[in-house]
Amino acid sequence: DIDLTQSPSSLSASLGDRVTITCRATQGVAGYLNWYQVKPGQAPKLLIHGASVLQTGVPQRFSGGGSGAELSLTIDDLHLEDAATYYCQQTYSTRALTFGGGTKVEI
């Protein structure tokens, strides 16, 4: 299985800040990397698919980047409602999908 390591595991930032979360895979995932936002009591929400494609309806302050085995999620101009836990997911290995361990963002 392809393991995904997210860093940091948690962070604290202020309104308006820019934050970046890194997702490192044990092998290249050819852009098959998705990002999700999870808030307590709510279903997870797909933010970005294909490493950098913003899902419809997601604010443009969210962006995805990177390539190969190192990908990232950046949130520009942090809003209060961005407080959540963020997960990366690889779908390159279609028979063995995996999620990263999560990054908790506090504001």
102: which 2 tokens? 């999560």
* Integer Cα distance of 41 and 93 in angstroms: 29
Task: Kindly state the smallest distance separating residue 6's Cβ from another protein, in Å.
Answer: 9
Q: Please name the amino acid found at residue 32.
A: Y
Q: Is 68 in the site for another protein (CB under 8 A)?
A: no
Residues 42-61, one symbol each (x = binds another protein by CB under 8 A, - = not), give -xxxx--xxx-x-x------
Go through the chain and tell me how many residues it has.
107
For 106, the token pair is 């506090």
Residues that bind another protein (CB under 8 A): 1, 31-34, 36, 38, 43-46, 49-51, 53, 55, 87, 89, 91, 94-102
